[in-house]
Amino acid sequence: MREFETSKNSIGENEINIHRLASVSPKAELGKGVFVGSGAVIGPDVIVGPNTWIGPNVIIDGRVKIGSNNKIFPGACIGLEPQDLKYKGAITDVLIGNDNTFRECVTINRATFEGEKTIVGNQNLLMAYSHLGHNCEIGNNVVISNSVQVAGHVVVEDRAVIGGCLGIHQFVHIGYLAMVGGMTRVDRDVPPYCLAEGHPGRMRGLNKVGIKRKNLDKDNKEEYLQLKRIWNLLFKSEYVISDGLKVASQENLQQSSERLCQFIAQSICKGRRGPMPTSMSINK
């Protein structure tokens, strides 16, 4: 770890509050209203947007750009080297949007190879002791619960909810409005709108709670009924998934069903094992 000179800000002491026991590089860029707590360490290549709160003993180092109105709780470490044996000191990035909350001891590693990025969007909640590995991409309005360990190159789309105490295998893709139950082994893709749970992980049906919260079942009941029917066609009919996709493509698919089918087709084309299999329960 580098040793930094404890620094006052260049914008004005009345606008940025840096604790006297914090260590902030004079080269770091802090926006108006930023708070830096006792024992925090901020490196020279860090940019922090306005009104972001950085709690005690937080470490932010490497090339990190953080947006506005974020809350980073004590003990979090953002932008440190990736836990990847292929990393050889390349200059890589962590990009974080606005209005995120990172609870105690969250870790977010920067990417592995030159020019690559680890990305977190807006309005996400990462609970205590969760970890994002190198090259991850997290969308918006995502909830990642306590002690979730996310391996490298994982993509989590908007409004997904990840239950606690679980691991997500590298290169897994979790779709829009998906939900993963706590302690699930996530070693395959989880399609949008789906509920996954178990060890090994299995799809149990549609994420009815998430769909209800989004009001999809009320705002466009026809779309919701089509989504249920397409889900059963793909996962509970006599068709294999690839044939089910061909049958579904003959229909006039609305947005949610189109998103589901495109995700599954891309998951199969990745050259790995495709999406999670289903359990034996019927989605009614």
For position 72, what pLDDT does the model report?
99
In angstroms, the first-to-last Cα distance of the chain is 55
Q: Kindly report, residue by residue over 263-273, the tens digit of the pLDDT.
A: 999 999 986 66
Cβ atoms of 216 and 209 within 8 Å: the answer is no
Cβ atoms of 256 and 222 within 8 Å: the answer is no
Q: Kindly report, residue by residue over 198-222, the tens digit of the pLDDT.
A: 999 999 999 999 999 999 888 899 9
Q: Kindly report, residue by residue over 4-23, the tens digit of the pLDDT.
A: 343 444 444 448 999 999 99
Q: What is the mean pLDDT of the chain?
A: 93
Strands 63-66 and 46-48: parallel
What average pLDDT does range 116-120 have in this prediction? 99
Using alpha carbons, list the distances in angstroms from residue 166 to 9, 83, 155, 251: 40, 18, 16, 37
Number of H helices, E strands in the chain: 5, 28
Q: Kindly report, residue by residue over 139-157, the tens digit of the pLDDT.
A: 999 999 999 999 999 999 9
> What does the block give as tokens for 129?
């002791």
SS3 206: strand
For position 270, what pLDDT does the model report?
85
Q: Let me know how long the chain is.
A: 284
For position 211, what pLDDT does the model report?
96
Enumerate residues 6+ apart whose C-beta is below 8 A from 212.
Answer: none
Task: Give the Cα separation of 112 and 114 in Å (integer).
Answer: 7
For position 279, what pLDDT does the model report?
77
Residue 66: pLDDT band (50, 70, 90) is very high
Whether the pLDDT of residue 36 is over 60: the answer is yes
SS3 24: strand
Q: Where do the domains of the chain lie, and which CATH numbers do they carry?
A: 17-153 (2.160.10.10), 213-269 (no CATH)
Whether the pLDDT of residue 182 is over 80: the answer is yes
> What does the block give as tokens for 84?
């990847």
What percent of the chain clears pLDDT 70, i.e. is strictly above it? 92
Largest CA distance in the chain: 68
